[in-house]
Amino acid sequence: MTTCDREPTLLPMAEAIARMSTTITPVTATETQPLTQLLDRVLAQPVHAQLAVPGHDNAAMDGYALRAADGDAPRELVGQALAGHPFEGEIKPGQCVRITTGAMLPAGADTVIMQENTRTDAQQVWPIQTPRAGDNIRRAGEDIAPGSQVLPKGHRVGPVDVALLASVGIAKAWVYRRLKVAILSTGDELVAPGAPLAPGQLYDSNRFGIAAVLQRLNVQVIDLGLIADDPAAIHLALQRASEQADVVISSGGVSVGEADHVKDVLTDLGQINFWKVAIKPGKPFAFGTLGDAFFFGLPGNPVSAMVTLHQLAMPVLRTMAGEHIQNADTFQVKSASKYRKRPGRLDFQRATLSEQDGQCTVSRNGPQGSGVLTSFRGANCYVVLEQERGSVEEEEFVTVLPFDRFIR
């Protein structure tokens, strides 16, 4: 029996992502941005180096540049090469030059002997160890060859990438425009933090969590606030949202309760592609189109909202933003916890991966209810229990998916 036989409307997660990815259209508009604004932008063109890095053969150590062929013989000290101040002449047999780390290797030299491996006086240098040709030299272009690709198109620029781009002299680059994402919460019971709560009310946490994740993704967030469980209000909010944004993300109201109007409004205003995915937490997750915009309807339960945003919406948002994404690395690790599970849904348990006596182990991070946000606190990974898997005993191997920087 397959999952689909058990609950035919539940779409396996991989299929849901595949369907969404083929439905969306990535942004095509581009703009140039200066180096200082490139962090977390997505490159719209590959970046090539116009020069070699290092730009010239240079010393990897402080010492003396000399010719290996002179062996152990003492060398006459004829000058110095400092970083930014090359030695102008050429080193002849029997000569050497004082050299500092990063300084250009003088003509005629083929090795650098470390300062610690020499004895010196004002005029002469005696090698303590026999120098070998090529020692302590960083070759021109050994890091980056001129003309080679430094970063590919579709790459999200990280902090080290900024340094890399600077190292090849790139002062600006072409990137895709940022996505515009409108967010809203639905629920008559919800109150914005800062206001007092009446009996039965609770604070809207999803909108703030979603906005924070989107901030990490570097999208432009349009916060449409809290919307009541009223079809007309939801209709108006979704319509406005779809006119302003590339993507609309709501939370709540996608289950089958009396107050769950989002799905109906979406049917009215746009098209639902699917609205139930075989994952836990987060079974009710709607995806569809709203005019020219795309719509993600996240479940209301706070953990479900975060997990579905992270695992279902995020890869699609990143693809829409022009990013070429790779599957995240997962690891097989022995479980220190038991899990009760029935086959049918892919389960994302919040967990802690740690090392004990040289062995990696992973433990459940406290209670895992779909409203228990503290299950994320201190956790550093998901234990991903495969859709068709049943209960797990201690010491069984489980799949670990480390948290990425978008959720941590």
Q: Using CB under 6 A, list all residues that contact ligand AMP.
A: 185, 187, 189-190, 202, 204-207, 251-253, 255, 257, 260, 299-302
Instruction: Decide whether 186 or 337 has the Cβ nearer to ligand AMP.
Output: 186
The radius of gyration of the chain from alpha carbons, rounded to an integer in Å, stands at 30
Instruction: Decide whether 63 or 187 has the Cβ nearer to ligand AMP.
Output: 187
Q: How far is the CB of 13 from ligand AMP (least distance, A)?
A: 19
- Pattern of binders to Mg ion over 277-296, x per CB under 5 A? --------------------
- 282 binding partner (options Mg ion, ligand AMP, none; Cβ < 5 to 8 Å by kind): none
Among 76-84, 145-153, 218-226, 246-254, the segment contacting Mg ion (CB under 5 A): 246-254
Instruction: Decide whether 185 or 308 has the Cβ nearer to ligand AMP.
Output: 185
Q: Which residues 6+ apart lie within 8 Å of 326 measured at CB?
A: none
Instruction: Decide whether 308 or 387 has the Cβ nearer to ligand AMP.
Output: 308
Only one residue has tokens 């200082």, namely: 36
Q: How far is the CB of 298 from ligand AMP (least distance, A)?
A: 8
Q: How far is the CB of 262 from Mg ion (least distance, A)?
A: 9
Q: How far is the CB of 186 from Mg ion (least distance, A)?
A: 6
Question: What's the gap between Cα 353 and its chain centre?
Answer: 19
Instruction: Decide whether 255 or 380 has the Cβ nearer to ligand AMP.
Output: 255
Q: Residue 157 gets which letter from DSSP?
A: P
Please give the span between the terminal C-alpha atoms of the chain, in angstroms, as a whole number: 37
Task: Determine if 131 is a binding residue for Mg ion (CB under 5 A).
Answer: no
Task: Determine if 209 is a binding residue for Mg ion (CB under 5 A).
Answer: no
Task: Determine if 187 is a binding residue for Mg ion (CB under 5 A).
Answer: yes
Instruction: Decide whether 301 or 335 has the Cβ nearer to ligand AMP.
Output: 301
Only one residue has tokens 């240098």, namely: 125
Task: Determine if 299 is a binding residue for Mg ion (CB under 5 A).
Answer: no
Bridge partners of residue 126, in order along the sequence: 119
Q: How far is the CB of 228 from Mg ion (least distance, A)?
A: 10
Q: How far is the CB of 354 from ligand AMP (least distance, A)?
A: 30
Question: What number of other Cβ atoms are within 10 A of residue 202's Cβ?
Answer: 12
Closest CA relative to residue 382, chosen from 342, 408, 348: 348
Residues lying near Mg ion in the complex (CB under 5 A) are found at 187, 252-253, 300
